[in-house]
Amino acid sequence: MTASTSPTSALVLGAMMFGTAVDETTSFALLDRFVERGGVWIDTADCYAFWASGDGRGGASERVLGRWLAARPGVRERVKIATKLGAEPLWADAFPMRREGLSTRAVRDAFAGSRDRLGLESVDLLWLHMEDRTTPIEETVEALAELTESGRVARVGASNHPAWRVERARAHARHLGATPIDALQHNSTYLRPRPGTNPTNHPFGVLSDEQRDYAQTHGLEVWAYTPLLSGAYDNPAKAIPDIYDHPGTAARLEALDEVAAELGASRGQTVLAWHVARGIRPMLGGSKLEQLDVAMDAVRLELSPEQLARLDEPA
């Protein structure tokens, strides 16, 4: 994000469950409200949501977005579409051992499928969803270069990748004179997981201090998925996951409660504001209009330097 980014455009609408757990009518309502309130970025993937679909394959989310875009003439000029490739299972129940991966052929075929489902000639950001150690990262970069040079992809990003592979990919893109990766997407929330644990199913899924430092040093955007712990900050019926149960959590929750009270906001809203204050785009994957409204109110909150320091202080 830049200094000129408007508050509401900092929030990303995650469309992961559109077309599966979230029906099409509700999905359209969420998308309409998001645009109405000044939202810009919508995030999906070719594999969403294979685990919730009837046939064990992804594509439902992109199809819903495609139908929404077709039904809303002119809205394409108001939104930016990001999608991902690399994680779609080759057949039902094949994930994670047998997935499309990031070879030249896989990138070409997967992106062609995404364009068809979205009904778009181009996307604003294409993510490498997860690592593929069976394919040299240089091969993947060259496949991405074909897409950026043709104008079908404006920008490329890496999700759940270690910093060293991102650097290697960026170096090869610069060597080719191609568009380098300029965005990272990782799991990030205010609470910190217990050392030695991982709340994601990706070895490098959690945003680390090194990855954030790398992004800040080289001017890469950072996007944060699952920032609200699926509602556990505010919903008494949802316990904070055990993975965050360690001595440091109590101090962070105390600081969070203090700042939230000063802002007149909820814990979750303060967590979203904390991300924005740190230059990170939080991603919302809610399924209700009221959840979206609360989140879009949250990114308008301004933390003072003193409040931000207090939130960052607990170990």
Task: Show which residues are catalytic.
Answer: 48
Identify the CA nearest to 280 among candidates 236, 237, 192, 220.
220
What does the alpha-carbon distance between residue 26 and residue 219 come to, in Å, rounded to a whole number? 36
Backbone angles phi, psi at 33, to 5 degrees: -65, -40
* Cα separation, 297 vs 284, whole angstroms: 13
Non-local (6+) Cβ contacts of 123 within 8 A are 81, 82, 83, 114, 115, 152, 153, 154
Residue 42: strand pairing partners: 13, 81
Structural contact between residues 252 and 238, judged by C-beta atoms closer than 8 angstroms: no
Distance CA 29, CA 96 (A): 33
Question: 295 near 270, Cβ under 8 Å?
Answer: no
